[in-house]
Amino acid sequence: MRPILHPALSRTWRDESTLQIGVTPGSALLIGDLGPVEIAILNAMDGRYDLAALRELAAELGGDRGAADQLLDLLFSAGAAVDAAARIQVHPRVVPDRSSLGLQNAEPDGGDAALAARRRYRVDVHGAGRVGASIARLLAAAGIGDVVVHDPAATIEADVTPGGHAERAVGRARGRALGDVLRTDSPADPRHGVSGPTGGTDFAVLAPAPGAGREDAAELMRHGTAHLLAEVVEVTGVVGPLVVPGRSSCLRCHDLHRTDMDGHWPLVLDQTVRRPPVEPACDTALAAVVAGLATAQVLAHLDGFTPATVDGTIEVSLPLGLPRRRSWARHPGCGCAWA
C-alpha cells in the first residue's frame, strides 16, 4: 500500500494543527491536534512511500510507529485517502467520473473497480428524442460499456439540442444517427449503437412520447429487466419509476393508482397516445434536467445504490424547476405484486 490523500478532495489548514480535507458535509473530514509527526506523515503521503516507510518516518521523528497506522486508519475509514498502488490508468475523460465514484463508495482504489464495472454493463434506451438522446450520450460518457438505442423514427429539426442530436442527424433514423455519436462520446470500447432484442440487457431506459412506453415496459417486466421511465409532459419532467421487477412498483402500478384517484385516467392515457399534441412541448433546459436526473438514477442503480426513483418518481415543473419526489407503492391489483 502506498497511501495518498484523496486527489478529489481539497486540503485546508485551518490553523497550524488542524487540517480540513474536503468541503461538503458528506465528504469533509476535520483533523485537529496534529503534531509534527502527524504533519510529516501527511506531507509524505504523495504516493512514493508505503506504510512501512511512513512508520519509519514516524520513528525517526521521535514518535510512535503506530501514529502512522492510527492516522491512516482515520483517513481511509473516512474515505479521505486512497491507495496509489491499487490505482490503474484510465482514459482522461473519465477521471472526474472515477473521482466521483471514489468519493461515493470510499474504496481504497478511488473508484477504479466501480468504473471498470460500468464498462461491463449494457443499457438499452428506448426512444431517442430530446430526452432519450441526451440520456444515451450521458451514459456513454459516464463509462457504460454498451449503450444501445432503439428508435427507428427519423430525426427532425425539433430533436436537435445541445447534448443530443446534431444538425447533421436530421433525416436519419434517430437510433442509427446516435450510434455514431455514442462511439465518439464513450471513453470505453466503441461497442455502442443500434441492436435488436433486449436479451443480455442489464438495464433499460424508456424515454417515449408522453403516455407511451407501456408495451416496452411490459416486455421488460417479462424479461425481468430493470428499467426507468423518463419523459417530459407539457411543462413537467418525470423521472421514474425505476422498476426492479419483483421488488418495486412498476409503471402499471402507477397507472392503477392514478385510476383509483381518477377513473377516467385510462381514457386520458389512451387518447394521449393516439392523438398527441401537434406541437408537443419539450423545453430545452427541462429536457436537460430530466436527462441528467435520469442518468444519475441509472448510474446509482448500476453502481449498487438504491435510487430515489425506486417506488417513486421525481417531478420537475417549469418555470421554477424545483424537483420533488412522490412515493408510489406497489398496487395490490397489479400482477407484479402477486406472490
Binning the chain into helix, strand and coil, the percentages to the nearest 5 are: 40, 20, 40
Report if pTM > 0.85: yes
Residue 311 lies inside a defined structural domain of this protein: yes
pLDDT band at residue 331 under the 50/70/90 scheme: very high
Which residues does 160 contact at the CB level (< 8 Å), separation at least 6?
A: 166, 167, 169, 170
Name residue, grid cell 426512444. 127
- Cα 133 to its chain centre, rounded Å, is 16
pLDDT band at residue 74 under the 50/70/90 scheme: very high
Residue 114 lies inside a defined structural domain of this protein: no
Beta bridge partners of 314: 239, 325
pLDDT band at residue 180 under the 50/70/90 scheme: confident
CATH number at residue 16: 3.90.930.60
Residue 108 lies inside a defined structural domain of this protein: no
Residue 107 lies inside a defined structural domain of this protein: no
CATH number at residue 288: 3.40.50.720
Q: Which domain holds residue 139?
A: 119-337
Pair 74, 128 in one domain:
no
Residue 40 lies inside a defined structural domain of this protein: yes
Structural domain count, the chain: 2
DSSP letters spanning 117-158: HHTT-EEEEE--SHHHHHHHHHHHHTT-SEEEEE--SBP-GG
Residue 100 lies inside a defined structural domain of this protein: no
Pair 125, 77 in one domain:
no
Pair 60, 155 in one domain:
no
pLDDT band at residue 339 under the 50/70/90 scheme: low
Whole-number mean pLDDT of the chain? 94
What would the grid cell of residue 71 be? 492516522
Among residues 72, 90, 108, the one where a domain terminates is 90
